[in-house]
């Protein structure tokens, strides 16, 4: 099973600042990686797929990069609505398997 490790667990950032979230795979997943955002009491929302392609309607301040085993989600200028938990998910192993990272909580500094 491919293990996805996200860091840091918690990121404290001031509004308007840049946030950089990392996701590492235990083996190469090529570019077959998605990012999701989850706000309290809500279901996850797809942000990025193919490691770098923004989902429909996603603001340009969100960007994804990386391939192989190292991936980054960058939020260029944090808005109040961006404070949430972010998860990466690999789908390179599909079928038969999908795995999520443990999440990074972006909180207000």
Binding site for another protein (CB under 8 A): 1, 32, 34, 36, 42-46, 49-50, 55, 87, 89, 91, 94-103
Nearest residue (CB) to another protein, 16 versus 96? 96
- In the bound complex, what is the minimum distance in angstroms from residue 95's beta carbon to another protein? 5
Nearest residue (CB) to another protein, 3 versus 15? 3
Place of tokens 């706000």: 39
How many other C-beta atoms are found inside a 10 Å radius of the C-beta of residue 78? 20
- In the bound complex, what is the minimum distance in angstroms from residue 16's beta carbon to another protein? 28
- In the bound complex, what is the minimum distance in angstroms from residue 91's beta carbon to another protein? 4
Tell me which residue of 69, 37, 74 sits closest to 52, measured CA to CA.
74
How far apart, in whole angstroms, are the C-alpha atoms of residue 30 and residue 9? 24
Nearest residue (CB) to another protein, 3 versus 77? 3
- In the bound complex, what is the minimum distance in angstroms from residue 107's beta carbon to another protein? 14
CB neighbour list of residue 35: distance below 8 Å, 6 or more residues apart: 23, 46, 47, 48, 49, 64, 73, 86, 87, 88, 89
């Amino acid at each position: 099973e491919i293990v996805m490790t996200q860091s840091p667990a918690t990121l404290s950032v001031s509004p308007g600042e840049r946030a950089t979230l990392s996701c590492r795979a235990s083996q190469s997943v090529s570019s077959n990686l998605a990012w999701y955002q989850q706000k309290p009491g809500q279901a996850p929302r797809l942000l990025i797929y193919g490691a770098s392609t923004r989902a429909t309607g996603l603001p340009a301040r969100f960007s994804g990069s990386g391939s192989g085993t190292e991936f980054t989600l960058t939020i260029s200028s944090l808005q109040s609505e961006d404070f949430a938990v972010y998860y990466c998910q690999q789908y390179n192993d599909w079928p038969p398997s999908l795995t999520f990272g443990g999440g990074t909580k972006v909180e207000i500094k």
